[in-house]
Structure 1
Amino acid sequence: MWGIAASFYVVALFHRMSLGVASLDAQRRFDLGPDTIAALSALQLGLYLLMTIPAGLAADRVGPRMALAFGMALMAVGEVAFGLATSAPLALGGRALVGVGDAFIFLSVLRIAQNWFPARRYPLLAALTGMAGAIGQLGTTVPLGLALDGAGWTATFVVSGVVTGLLALACLRLVADRPADAGTAAAAGRDGDATAPATGAPAQDPIMATLRRAWATSATRAAFWTHFALMGPFVTITALWGYPWLVEAQSVAPGTARAWLLVCVAAFGLGAPVVGLAVARAPRTRGRVAFGAGAAATAGWALALLWPGGHPPAAVILATLVATGVGGAAAMLAFDVAREGNPAHVAGSAGGLANTGGFSAAVATQLLVGWVMGFGPSAGLQTALLPMLGLTVVALAQMARHGRRRRARARVLQPAA
């Protein structure tokens, strides 16, 4: 059951990240400048961000099956519209629908994992879900570039949209929210909360009360900043600015740039199960692993963006892309932090709040980069990407602060336990 749901996340990541390699084609097709393309990407990610919390609530209240099908249907319509678009307004509408639909997929897959597996399996399943997304994102590097060059814009995006619509119908037929024989106690055990009924008890609680309850826990806030620091740079680079930065700022050939982005995404996909297994076996290392991954990626970007002359060696660029991919994989740990620190019936909402971290970072960076680029040719991408570095440093400081608080709280509670 998890595998079926995770396959939808493969498709969702293809749609979410397709503008990365297609950004220069989009500039030519719609006659747009880089600042407008940044707004196009920010709109999609911004709507994803705004819908993340409603999507988490939907996974809790109407069930992940319906949430998955709804999200897939919206993405299908949006991708077809984007493929048929010949003007910026229709393209904006298509990407908006993709962003809204995308928000319902990831958290619903995690809810399926939580409903069908014991709590001890959750860190690995969250990491494997991230790996499934990386597989979809691999399709947006070299394969998408080849499809755009060979089949063309319209055929590439319309066919992918039609396939997504068929998968939405398959979801309604094949996916079940939880095991059919799960009684209240059994399902609660799978959720890791023996006091919560199988159906997600307080579904009648007001929405804002549910969100306040989730955000009130230190675990949810720690998860937010973890996701902000680790996922933000990965989305920023692979969703839009990595390809133009490599081609225009670093003079890398288009084919080579796609291959290097593929390396970044592959590092995410390969790193996710490794991180998940390591943390599942030694849960107390979770905070150190997450902070170390974020610090490594931040150091890499500091080198790449502040290198004298603006053209770091290829080895530095590749090492930074690999570190960024591994950091994205470690961002999956945020959802384990949120799950562990909240009751099962608000897990979707807590996960949604955590998920806003990385995409808040990505949207802010997209807009800031586009704004800096609007100053003219002298404000190149080498300079325009510096806000990403600054935001990540702030997030790492917040991670360290929350980590100290959690360790202090654990020391206080340990004697009572």
Structure 2
Amino acid sequence: MAAALGTRGGSWLKGFPRCFPGTTARVRRVYNRAGTLGTPMLSKRRRESITAGMGPFVGLLHTSHIHNSGCRQELQSWRKQQTDSSVLSRSQLLKEPAVGMVSGLLGILLSHGTKVMYQSDMPQAAFFSPLQKMMLPPNAFKGKVAFITGGGTGLGKGMTAALSHLGAECVIASRKLDVLKQTAEEISSKTGNKVHAVQCDIRDPTSVSNAVAQLIKEAGHPSIIINNAAGNFISPSEGLSANAWRTITDIILNGTAFVTLEIGKELIKAQKGAAFLAITTIYAESGSGFVSPSASAKAGVEALCKSLAAEWGKYGMRFNIIQPGPIKTKGAFSRLDPTGAFLKGMIERIPCGRLGTVEEIANLATYLCSDYASWVTGAVIRMDGGEYVSMAGEFNDLRKVTSEQWKMLEEMIRKTKGS
């Protein structure tokens, strides 16, 4: 293999696309490690160890994970040149584990932020590659104030960044002021728009009242309110204490109600309208074992939003809900899939073949909170890559049946006719 590729990956990486600054060196380091697989001096056990580490990347030879179209085209052209010049034939490319590893790693090395988190080897994922650009035009929220609970991390941080990029003055709230300040500075430095950090424990009505007063004093009445703060963990329901139940429902249901009612009353007094958005989950609708406090509380949030959409429309307020499917953020997955054992099965049951991204949720959130959605209220929008309908259909597991098995089943079914 070393002969085919050139000593330690030298000729193989020659002419690597320059639109990926710093990546060539990283790919070379990966290849250098992978290239040792062909060294006879390595023990069988050592070769197996290295190969095992490469397993997740072998064969990921497409460029669907690279989102800059110019870079993607340049890389595809470079790959074709390597193949056409007989430096490495296509059959070798598919057979060599080291090259498969490097090729697969390209998508990851060239990604950043949350892009890494939806990586999938499901073939259909190539058809559903997420866009990373803003959906709305620049300054869509110029002159508007947005209040986001749980805005320091995860989905909240992503939605705050999107709103700030689109011109909004954002106020983020949670219990951890140090995290909020760090996020506020980070986003503001990139967008040039103000991001305020307000400490608030949404479980406490007094804390909420003080935070809303600070919000109005520092930025003015909000025209966008996103109830994103949440808490969750997995547990058999028979193992739940009263305190465990109360902890989750206080954050999700009571916290959302306290924030919504406090801000809503202030808006009514000021005769100002606003768009409210709640982030729930797909199992708010169906229920789910092992997360019963969260399922119950999220269902309550949806009932609250739909009720107020009917009641407070006369005050110029809209209320909508997003039900995200699985999106790999550190906070959520550390409590819901701490070992990572369920991730593979989770991706396999999603028809789109991948996890969602923070950016996709942020795009939908900004649309629902914008004037483009002024006739949308009381809506519950599921964004889950088809996971809900995949799990709901009684016969959907038949997708695992092979063509040969279908032929056998068809023959068996024909024999039952008339009996």
What interval of TM-score do these two structures reach, taking the shorter chain for normalisation?
under 0.3
Could you say which structure has the higher helix fraction? 1
Q: Given the two structures, how large is their TM-score scaled by the length of structure 2? A: 0.25
Higher relative contact order (CA 8 A, sep 6+): 1
Could you say which structure has the higher strand fraction? 2
Q: Which structure has the larger Rg over C-alpha atoms?
A: 2
Q: Given the two structures, how large is their TM-score scaled by the length of structure 1? A: 0.25
